[in-house]
């Protein structure tokens, strides 16, 4: 259904992809951060990345505690002004990320400030390519001003979902990344259309799992409209991610263990208790002997 030029849609960050459709990850090229170590079956990771969305405050409106999260995560997906964030706030977050040696990623989105980038926008491919080029270039300029740089791209919200299944828009986004800097990595869902398109174009592709979200037995994220979609207990989240890193599997809502391949784990920065949750995940992984390391260049050891 379309309303005012937008397609009404659920805004979850995941869709269904079978194990056979999942992509192999690219090589990590972070300075001091090698590939995520794994056993032959994909389980038993020796290191993993922890990412969070940031830079989404606007004017007097504050969303999340970026400064505190930057002391915990290894990668920061920073808004580029299209779905959230203003120039001063984005600059502040980029500067703090650089000071904490956290990898910076461009959190590109549809041009949808009023909808927080959570509405599908039926853009023409050429327009979408231009929008994504603009956003990456803007963040690269801000990062350069503080002596840092952008290492990867992670699309936001409805765009993230759309290019997971939409060939045309996936090609538009990949074309934008390649046009700006083909060394930029892409962070996306395992088995997504955009992951395949990006890999075919020679880009490095990395996969993510979600720390604070429930999964269906089919490997989808439970829609936010359903009860239990978001997990708020930090100890439970830390236990789930520890099992995921150790075994390559996570518990679904029906109690079954499903395979989820991940190079990075996302903790939503706008979730209540996000900082405490990120700390709990990091502390649990480190206590299990797992290193927290970014998947893209320039990040913290």
What are the DSSP calls for 237-297, one per residue? HHHHHHHHHHHSEEE-TTS-EEE---SEEE--TTSTTHHHHHHHHHHHHHHTT-EE--SST
Least confident range from 75-84, 163-172, 266-275: namely 266-275
Write the pLDDT tens digit of every residue in 87-137: 999 999 999 999 999 999 999 999 999 898 889 999 999 999 999 999 999
Q: What is the 3-state secondary structure (H, E, C) of 16-35?
A: CCCHHHCCCCCCCCECCECC
Asked if the model's pLDDT at residue 42 lies above 80, the reply is no
Which candidate, 188, 208, 209, 210, places its Cα nearest to that of 198?
Answer: 188
Rounded Cα–Cα distance for residues 105 and 103 (Å): 7
More confident: 233 or 64: 233
How does pLDDT run across 277-300, given as a tens digit for each residue?
A: 999 999 999 999 999 999 986 443
Domains of the chain, earliest start first? 2-292 (3.20.20.370)
Q: Which residues pair with 187 in a beta bridge?
A: 206
Q: What is the pTM of this model?
A: 0.85
Residue reference for tokens 């290019």: 163
Q: Does the pLDDT of residue 243 top 50, yes or no?
A: yes
pLDDT number for residue 167:
97
The position carrying tokens 């290894």 is 74
Distance CA 290, CA 301 (A): 12
Distances, alpha carbon 34 to alpha carbons 39, 195, 292, 300, in Å: 15, 21, 11, 11
d(CA 105, CA 139) in angstroms, rounded, equals 9
């Amino acid at each position: 259904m379309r309303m005012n030029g937008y397609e009404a849609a659920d805004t979850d960050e995941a869709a269904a992809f079978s194990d056979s459709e999942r992509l192999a990850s690219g090589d990590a090229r972070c300075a001091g951060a090698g590939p995520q170590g794994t056993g032959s079956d994909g389980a038993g990771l020796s290191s993993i990345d922890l990412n969070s969305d940031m830079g989404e405050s606007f004017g007097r409106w504050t969303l999340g505690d970026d400064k505190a999260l930057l002391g915990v995560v290894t990668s920061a997906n920073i808004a580029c002004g299209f779905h959230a964030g203003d120039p001063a706030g984005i600059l502040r977050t980029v500067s703090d990320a650089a000071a904490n040696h956290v990898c910076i990623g461009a959190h590109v989105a549809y041009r949808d400030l009023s909808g927080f980038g959570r509405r599908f926008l039926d853009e023409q491919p050429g327009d979408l390519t231009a929008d994504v080029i603009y956003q990456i270039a803007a963040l690269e300029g801000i990062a350069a001003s503080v002596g840092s740089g952008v290492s990867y791209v992670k699309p936001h919200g409805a765009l993230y979902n759309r290019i997971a299944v939409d060939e045309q828009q996936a090609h538009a986004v990949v074309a934008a990344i390649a046009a700006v800097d083909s060394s930029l990595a892409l962070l996306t869902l395992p088995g997504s259309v955009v992951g395949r398109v990006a890999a075919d174009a020679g880009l490095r592709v990395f996969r993510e799992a979600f720390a604070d979200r429930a999964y269906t037995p089919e490997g989808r994220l439970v829609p936010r409209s359903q009860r239990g979609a978001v997990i708020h207990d930090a100890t439970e989240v830390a236990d789930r991610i520890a099992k995921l890193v150790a075994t390559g599997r996570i518990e679904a809502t029906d109690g079954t263990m499903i395979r989820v391949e991940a190079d990075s784990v996302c903790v939503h920065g706008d979730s209540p208790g996000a900082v405490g949750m990120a700390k709990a995940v990091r502390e649990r992984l480190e206590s299990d002997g797992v290193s927290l390391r970014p998947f893209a260049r320039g990040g913290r050891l």
